[in-house]
């Protein structure tokens, strides 16, 4: 029995430590030869961010690309287009009206309470990284990450580098 409890606790711990606050996914062209790509050039025409966030995104993306062995160049193998967007999110939360509670003197009782519902509105940001083969002008890899707290500057400062690292974890893709 102790063995099963240990395994259950270990699995729960691994699940909690591997959780990311971001939703990250990627896709790639099966025909692309990712080992042939050595240089890149950033294209930021669609990156509609303030200058502070734009610098955060581009600096971290460049750092990630260089850690993957790619170098910036004027005659690149890859054109990298970065986009950002955000959407308004509304969360609706309701408290459970049924339940027990401890009272004065250590007594416990069950009761039916009133339902409480509240909403919260916030903006959630996403970053999209498109890698286009410069010779064929075809998209060969795309990474998307969402879940950035757009309305909280301190959170963004921390989250932008984290989400860029999560997105770029999937490049180059592992072929099956």
Lowest mean pLDDT, pick from 8-22, 37-51, 106-120, 135-149: 8-22
Q: Phi/psi of residue 43, each to 5°?
A: -120, 125
Measured CA to CA in angstroms, residue 117 lies from 43, 53, 101, 111 at distances of 45, 35, 20, 18
| pLDDT tens figures, 112-140 | 566 777 676 656 788 999 999 999 999 99
pLDDT digits (tens, 9 = 90+) for 69-108: 999 999 999 999 999 886 676 667 776 666 555 555 666 5
Domains of the chain by start residue, with CATH: 20-92+118-168 (3.30.160.670)
Taking a C-beta distance cutoff of 8 angstroms, is the pair 65, 80 a contact? yes
pLDDT of residue 84: 86
Nearest Cα to Cα of residue 36 among 119, 136, 157, 120: 136
Bridge partner residues of 130 (DSSP): 81, 142
């Amino acid at each position: 029995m102790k063995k099963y409890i240990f395994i259950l606790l270990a699995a729960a711990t691994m699940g909690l430590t591997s959780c990311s606050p971001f939703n990250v996914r990627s896709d790639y062209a099966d025909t692309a030869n990712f080992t042939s790509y050595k240089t890149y050039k950033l294209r930021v025409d669609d990156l509609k961010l303030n200058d502070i966030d734009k610098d955060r995104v581009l600096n971290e993306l460049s750092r990630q690309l260089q850690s993957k062995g790619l170098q910036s160049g004027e005659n690149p193998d890859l054109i990298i287009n970065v986009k950002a967007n955000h959407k308004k999110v509304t969360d609706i939360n309701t408290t459970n009206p049924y339940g027990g509670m401890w009272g004065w003197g250590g007594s416990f009782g069950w009761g039916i309470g009133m339902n409480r519902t509240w909403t919260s509105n916030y903006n959630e940001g996403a970053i999209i990284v498109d890698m286009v083969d410069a010779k064929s002008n075809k998209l060969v890899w795309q990474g998307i990450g969402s879940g950035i707290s757009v309305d909280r500057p301190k959170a963004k400062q921390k989250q932008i580098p984290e989400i860029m690292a999560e997105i770029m974890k999937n490049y180059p893709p592992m072929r099956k």
